[in-house]
C-alpha cells in the first residue's frame, strides 16, 4: 500500500504552536486510498503544545541542517535542537513506514516547502524549506506543501 507522511495538524491533531489543527478538504481528496502516517516534528522533538511561535533565522531549513542558520521563538529562545530532533524522527518514521512522499504544512519552520516565514515574525514569506522538509528531501523523499491551507 502507498504510504505518505503527513503533518499531523493537517489530519485534525491540535498540535500547532497555537494548539489548533489545520484540516484541508483538498488534502483529504488527494490522500484518498493511501496509508496516511501523521506526524508532528515539533512535538516529537520535545516542544510543548501550545508553544511560542518560531521562525527560521539566517536561512532556511537546509541552512539549519548545515549549521549556518537557527530556529528561534518570538522571544529569542533558540529551539534549533528540538527542530532538528523532530526532523530526524520524521525521517526515521518515513523510512520505517515506507513513505516515499510527505505532504506537509505550508510556511512552517519545520514543514514548509517552497516558502517559509522570513524570521521577523511579521508574516512575510521568503523562498525556502523548513527543517523537516529539507531533511526529508535530502534523503530522497518527495515533499510537497498541502493544498488549500
Tens-digit pLDDT profile for residues 91-134: 999 999 999 999 999 999 999 999 999 999 999 999 999 999 99
Q: Give the pLDDT of residue 22.
A: 95
Residues 6+ apart with CB under 8 A from 41: 83, 86, 87, 89, 90, 110, 111, 131, 132
Residue 79: left (phi > 0), alpha (psi -120 to 50), or beta?
alpha
Q: Is 41 or 147 the better-scoring residue by pLDDT?
A: 41
Judge contact between 68 and 108, C-beta under 8 A. no
**Confidence class of residue 135 from pLDDT cuts 50, 70 and 90?**
very high
Q: Give the pLDDT of residue 143.
A: 98
Cell triple for 112: 514548509
Please give the average per-residue pLDDT across 69-91, as a whole number.
98
Please give the average per-residue pLDDT across 140-148, as a whole number.
95
Q: Give the pLDDT of residue 20.
A: 97
Residues 6+ apart with CB under 8 A from 6: 27, 31, 36, 37, 38, 39, 102, 103, 104, 146
Amino acid at each position: 500500500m502507498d504510504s505518505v507522511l503527513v503533518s499531523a495538524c493537517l489530519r485534525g491533531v491540535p498540535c500547532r504552536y497555537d494548539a489548533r489543527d489545520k484540516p484541508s478538504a483538498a488534502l483529504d481528496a488527494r490522500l484518498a486510498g493511501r496509508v496516511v502516517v501523521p506526524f508532528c516534528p515539533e512535538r516529537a522533538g520535545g516542544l510543548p503544545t501550545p508553544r511560542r511561535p518560531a521562525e527560521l533565522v539566517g536561512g532556511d531549513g537546509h541552512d539549519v541542517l548545515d549549521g549556518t542558520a537557527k530556529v528561534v521563538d518570538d522571544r529569542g529562545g533558540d529551539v534549533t535542537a528540538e527542530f532538528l530532533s523532530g526532523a530526524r524522527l520524521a525521517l526515521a518514521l518515513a523510512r520505517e513506514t515506507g513513505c516515499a512522499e510527505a505532504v506537509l504544512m505550508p510556511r512552517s519552520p519545520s514543514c514548509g516547502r517552497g516558502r517559509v516565514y522570513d524570521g521577523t515574525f511579521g508574516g512575510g514569506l521568503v523562498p525556502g524549506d523548513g527543517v523537516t522538509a529539507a531533511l526529508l528531501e535530502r534523503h530522497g523523499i518527495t515533499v510537497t506543501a498541502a493544498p488549500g491551507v
